């Protein structure tokens, strides 16, 4: 936790000056040990996602019917699954899929939500009302139920899971960006830009959007975690990834049939999901504390 801030940083004017807040943020962020650890873990995950499949001892579809559901051993660190496939290799290779699902879903949701929020907040009136009613309606449905409905219509499969998760993360971003936009719309620098004849698009994307960025980044990080969880819940309900994709939720869901005999088949995929989501959440917390001027005491 940061102790003392050096100058009054809550003012609007300073927020537009990108450089100082960034270095300030990094300084504050570094002080949060667990967030740094989480970031480090996520970087490792990303590296695994990129190169993992070249490092694993077994292929993801390399089966061995004589070694079905074996517990962890030297050969198979996380044991084997119901086809005798190496669980460690599958989890490593699944990193890419699970991260990709989480990241792409939230990216789509963030982009859509940001655009909607900017438009609604900036133009107000009927545009704003329509956008906000849609968001309210989407909020009225518990996330997983909305996702189930969308997957039911589009069919199961990872692509549709991404769409479903993106749809229900959109309103969160929209609301967030809208409220920032409302605050920034009347600020001095936006007025100034408008007086200088800047186009609406320019004002929105060059002046207002950067001001909303810190909040977007925090929300983004937190949402990645919950998206990975939702995607795995959908796999659990049979609406997610198709086998033999080593998506973590699917691994976990398959393993549950063997819980009584082979706990490792659910334990390790569960841990992989848990640790990843945990890291994103801790990172999000850290970023928020580092970015939020109010919390810096």
- Spatial CB neighbours of 280, under 8 Å, sequence gap ≥ 6: 38, 42, 102, 221, 222, 224, 225, 228
CB 273 within 8 A of CB 229: yes
Is 257 a binding residue for another protein by CB under 8 A? The answer is yes
Is 237 a binding residue for another protein by CB under 8 A? The answer is yes
Q: Which long-range contacts (CB under 8 A, 24 or more apart) does 258-264 make?
A: 258/69, 258/82, 261/69, 262/69, 262/71, 262/79, 264/71, 264/72, 264/78, 264/79, 264/87
Q: Of the candidates 187, 258, 293, 296, which one interacts with another protein according to CB under 8 A?
A: 258
Cα 36 to Cα 197: distance, rounded to the nearest angstrom? 43
Query: x/- site string to another protein, residues 60 to 79, per CB under 8 A?
Result: -x-x-x--x-----------
- What's the half-sphere exposure (Cβ side, CA atoms, 13 Å) at 34? 11
CB 297 within 8 A of CB 59: no
Q: How is 205-270 classified by DSSP, letter by letter?
A: IIIIHHHHHHHHHHHHHHHHHHHHHHHHHHHHTT-SPPTT---HHHHHHHHGGGTTT-THHHHHHH
Give 12 or 134: the residue with its C-beta nearer to another protein. 134
Query: x/- site string to another protein, residues 261 to 280, per CB under 8 A?
Result: x-x--x---x--xx--xx--
CB 118 within 8 A of CB 177: yes
Segment contacting another protein by CB under 8 A, of 44-52, 102-110, 135-143, 175-183: 135-143
Cα 105 to Cα 240: distance, rounded to the nearest angstrom? 13
* Segment 157 to 186, residues that bind another protein, using CB under 8 A: none
Longest CA pairwise span in the chain (Å): 76
Give 23 or 257: the residue with its C-beta nearer to another protein. 257
Is 129 a binding residue for another protein by CB under 8 A? The answer is no
Give 214 or 270: the residue with its C-beta nearer to another protein. 270
Segment contacting another protein by CB under 8 A, of 14-22, 40-48, 210-218, 243-251: 243-251
Choose among 152, 167, 272, 175: nearest CA to 227. 167
Is 142 a binding residue for another protein by CB under 8 A? The answer is yes
Segment contacting another protein by CB under 8 A, of 22-30, 110-118, 208-216, 245-253: 245-253
Query: Cβ 65 to another protein, closest distance in Å?
Result: 5
Give 187 or 244: the residue with its C-beta nearer to another protein. 244
Give 16 or 179: the residue with its C-beta nearer to another protein. 179
Query: Cβ 189 to another protein, closest distance in Å?
Result: 29
Is 23 a binding residue for another protein by CB under 8 A? The answer is no
Cα 284 to Cα 225: distance, rounded to the nearest angstrom? 9
Query: Cβ 50 to another protein, closest distance in Å?
Result: 23
Residues that bind another protein (CB under 8 A): 1, 34, 61, 63, 65, 68, 82-83, 137, 139-145, 148-149, 152-153, 155-156, 225-226, 229, 232-233, 236-239, 242-244, 249, 252-254, 256-261, 263, 266, 270, 273-274, 277-278, 281-282, 285, 295, 297
């Amino acid at each position: 936790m940061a102790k003392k801030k050096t100058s009054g940083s809550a003012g609007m004017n300073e927020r537009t000056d990108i450089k100082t807040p960034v270095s300030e943020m990094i300084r504050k962020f570094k002080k949060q040990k667990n967030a740094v650890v989480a970031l480090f873990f996520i970087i490792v995950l990303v590296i695994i996602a990129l190169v993992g499949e070249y490092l694993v001892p077994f292929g993801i579809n390399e089966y061995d019917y004589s070694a079905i559901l074996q517990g962890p051993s030297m050969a198979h660190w996380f044991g084997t699954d119901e086809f005798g496939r190496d669980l460690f290799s599958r989890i490593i290779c699944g990193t890419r899929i699970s991260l990709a699902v989480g990241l792409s879903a939230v990216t789509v949701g963030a982009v859509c939500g940001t655009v909607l929020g900017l438009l609604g907040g900036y133009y107000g009136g009927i545009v704003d009302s329509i956008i906000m009613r849609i968001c309210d309606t989407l909020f009225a449905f518990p996330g997983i139920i909305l996702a189930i409905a969308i997957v039911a219509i589009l069919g199961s499969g990872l692509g549709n899971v991404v769409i479903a998760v993106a749809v229900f993360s959109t309103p969160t971003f929209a609301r967030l960006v809208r409220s920032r936009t409302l605050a920034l719309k009347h600020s001095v620098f936006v007025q100034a830009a408008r007086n200088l004849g800047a186009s609406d698009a320019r004002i929105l994307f060059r002046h207002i959007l950067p001001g909303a960025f810190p909040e977007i980044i925090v929300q983004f990080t937190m949402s990645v975690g919950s998206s990975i969880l939702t995607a795995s819940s959908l796999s659990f309900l049979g609406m997610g990834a198709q086998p033999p994709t080593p998506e973590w939720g699917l691994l976990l869901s398959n393993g549950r049939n063997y819980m009584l005999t082979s706990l490792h088949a659910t334990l390790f995929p569960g841990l992989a999901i848990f640790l990843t989501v945990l890291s994103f959440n801790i990172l999000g917390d850290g970023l928020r504390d580092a970015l939020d001027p109010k919390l810096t005491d």
